[in-house]
Structure 1
Amino acid sequence: MKRIGVVVFPGFQILDMVAVSIFELANQDTDEPAYEVAVISEHGGMVRSSAGVEVGTQPFGDPAYDTIIVTGAMEIAPSSPGLLAFLNDALAASRRTASICTGAFVLAEAGILDGRNATTHWAHARDLQRRFPRARVEEDRIFIVDGSVWTSAGMTACIDLCLALVENDLGVAVSRAIAKKLVVYHRRTGGQSQYSAMLDLEPKSDRIQNALSYAKSHLREPLSVEQLADVAHLSPRQFSRAFRDETRQSPARAIEALRVEAARTMLETGRHSIETVAADTGFIDTERMRRAFLRAYGQPPQAIRRAARVP
């Protein structure tokens, strides 16, 4: 049975406790329990989260776990010497060391990310790189595996990280069964983007939101301003003006962002050819898709696909 140690500290983010549920569900999908999970802290006892909810913990002891998972925090603060010492001992004694969200700062403070590729919540990625220049921070990844060290993006990316850990241990069928029980899509690949085009646009009115939702469902169509204006029940001129006011983008640029995001998801999660991806997401040809990817990500589609395939 694999021992999982979930490390918490005062002010940890309570959402990260979903990690415990994923290993609990994994035990239900195997003939015999595969995991023994312990929530641990430096001194043991009740530890208060940033939300005010307290959890019971065991004190640090033998650092030889199968996997150590360090939770994140809403407010980043210096770690105690005892926590950092334990993590370095656990790195040597355990098979895997992982962090959720800003837990990457704790690993970096312990020196564990020196010379390693890592990620964290997009809002803190540049700060992580500035404070710990020996780490190689990639701010637009869901999770990264570098040797025995796994780091994830923020908040719900802990689900993707833990599903990937289970998949690594028990296979894809078990991780998919857990995802079903969690009522989430099967885990996102590590190389998948943290960003969402729809969230970035943030339309304020239902009319513009409806037009964008329609566009996202009909990306293979030309999607002219006239077509979208008709969905929004506005004249083309009114629609263009309202769209720019609410999204700070032109309709054409916004549609390109939706197409690029859809194409990236296809590249990362499937084995479709570049030509098929371009056709299914409304690009006239692969060259137009390539130019759109360079504008959006600074990389061509092939590079995005290679990054997503990194184990």
Structure 2
Amino acid sequence: MLRNVAVVLLDGVHPFELGVVCEVFGLDRGDQGLPVYDFAVVSAEDPTLTTHVPGFTVSTPHGLDRLDAADLIVVPAGSHYIDREYPPALLEALVRAVDRGARVLSVCSGVFVLGAAGLLDGRRCAAHWMQAEQLSRRYPRAKVEPDVLYVDEDPVITSAGTAAGIDACLHLVRKEQGVEVANAIARRMVVPPHRDGGQAQYVDRPLPRSQCDTVGEVLIWMERHLDEEVTVEQLADLAHMSPRTFARRFQQETGTTPYRWILRQRVLLAQQLLETTDETVDAIAGRTGFGAAAALRHHFVRALGVTPNAYRRTFRGPRAA
């Protein structure tokens, strides 16, 4: 049963991510008939810690011994969590908590603390899309999923950047205490109780460029002709190669196949048009080479986890869709 919650602070903690946890678990909503958690903010270092935002500090009377009673321990994000060292006593306390049946949850870069404790080994985990590669390098035994909002590998729950911590916290409430409780807390916070898709829809992915001149000119041509059907044979002719040599060289220089490359660029162009124009989904399907709206929806959902109209609502508001 989820009753006792502790959030762990390290020097340089991010106030927003800390606030997310305090908002979900720290407020007394007993007047609404909602659960009241035994909640504490715990310092892993000095009783008074600096924050990521200059100008104020956070103080708490609770030390790491408070973690021994927690059903859930949350580690929010902080400054330099990617490359700093962590107090051994904190890492040991996290491992002890999992061993006795408690859960741990990270928000954004707090996942690096769980990695340092060895709690990501062999487990799927979420990370901010900008930090996923660094997490994989630092903890190669972790199975990093860069496109999701959160991952529940009970008893270890990890969430992606910033507001994805809300999604993970509400997910755990929904799992432990039911949909009605989670929905009521979400309404108080004026946030959706569940968001569609994953963080792929928020990733900034500029058009990839080749590091070599061999297929560079072909990439430029492909970008300019996304609305046309092209074959490997046509592209190979442009590069003055045989189709087999071209396909091999393309893979070496871009890390993907011509088909997958052009498909991704079409989705990227569709994202841009959905954000910046009032064109219909049918018209965008034609301009991006998908032909029909159904084909665009299929590939868009497959790449980003949301429909084109849902994506447009997210980035331009409900009236735009």
Provide the TM-score with structure 1 as the length reference: 0.64
Give the C-alpha shift of residue 64 in structure 1. 3.5
Report if the CA contact (8 A) 2:45-2:87 is conserved: no
Answering whether residue 86 of structure 2 is matched by residue 70 of structure 1, we say no
Report if the CA contact (8 A) 1:26-1:175 is conserved: no
Residue aligning to 2:39 = 37
Question: Separation in 1 of the partners of 2:6 and 2:270?
Answer: 44
5+ residue gaps, structure 2, are 207-264, 276-280, 308-321
CA, structure 1 residues 82+33, in 2 after alignment: closer, same or farther (shift >3 Å)? same
CA deviation map 1:19-70 (0-9, x unaligned): 1111234733653643111111235622221113322221011524110101
Answering whether residue 61 of structure 2 is matched by residue 60 of structure 1, we say no
Question: Separation in 1 of the partners of 2:266 and 2:93?
Answer: 53
CA deviation map 1:172-193 (0-9, x unaligned): 122222222222222325x623
CA deviation map 1:79-126 (0-9, x unaligned): 121211111112212421111101111100110000000011111111
Report if the CA contact (8 A) 1:260-1:289 is conserved: no
Question: Separation in 1 of the partners of 2:274 and 2:152?
Answer: 25
Question: Separation in 2 of the partners of 1:185 and 1:292?
Answer: 22
Paired residues for 1:190-201 under 5 Å: 192-196=198-202
Answering whether residue 4 of structure 2 is matched by residue 3 of structure 1, we say yes
- Which residue identity lines up with residue 16 of structure 2 in the other structure? L
Aligned mate of 1:126, from 125, 133, 136? 133
Residue aligning to 1:21 = 23
5+ residue gaps, structure 1, are 202-250, 262-277, 302-311
Report if the CA contact (8 A) 1:9-1:41 is conserved: yes
Give the C-alpha shift of residue 143 in structure 1. 0.4
Residue aligning to 1:143 = 150
Report if the CA contact (8 A) 1:4-1:36 is conserved: yes
Secondary structure of 1:83's aligned partner: helix
Report if the CA contact (8 A) 1:25-1:178 is conserved: no
Give the C-alpha shift of residue 137 in structure 1. 0.2
Secondary structure of 2:131's aligned partner: helix
CA, structure 1 residues 31+78, in 2 after alignment: closer, same or farther (shift >3 Å)? same
CA, structure 1 residues 194+186, in 2 after alignment: closer, same or farther (shift >3 Å)? farther
Paired residues for 1:33-112 under 5 Å: 33-43=35-45, 45-52=47-54, 53-57=56-60, 58-61=62-65, 63-76=68-81, 77-112=84-119
Secondary structure of 1:105's aligned partner: helix
Identity, % of aligned pairs?
A: 31
Secondary structure of 2:13's aligned partner: coil
CA, structure 1 residues 141+253, in 2 after alignment: closer, same or farther (shift >3 Å)? closer
Give the C-alpha shift of residue 293 in structure 1. 5.4
Question: Separation in 1 of the partners of 2:181 and 2:272?
Answer: 32
Residue aligning to 1:256 = 270
Question: What is the aligned length?
Answer: 232
Secondary structure of 1:69's aligned partner: strand
Question: Separation in 1 of the partners of 2:151 and 2:267?
Answer: 30
Range with bigger deviation, 34-43 or 23-32: 23-32
- Which residue identity lines up with residue 63 of structure 1 in the other structure? D
- Which residue identity lines up with residue 11 of structure 1 in the other structure? G
- When the two chains are superposed, the root-mean-square deviation of aligned CA atoms in Å is 3.4
Residue aligning to 2:258 = none
Question: Separation in 2 of the partners of 1:115 and 1:26?
Answer: 37
Question: Separation in 2 of the partners of 1:109 and 1:60?
Answer: 17
Paired residues for 1:272-283 under 5 Å: none
- Which residue identity lines up with residue 154 of structure 2 in the other structure? G
Secondary structure of 2:95's aligned partner: helix
- Which residue identity lines up with residue 124 of structure 2 in the other structure? N
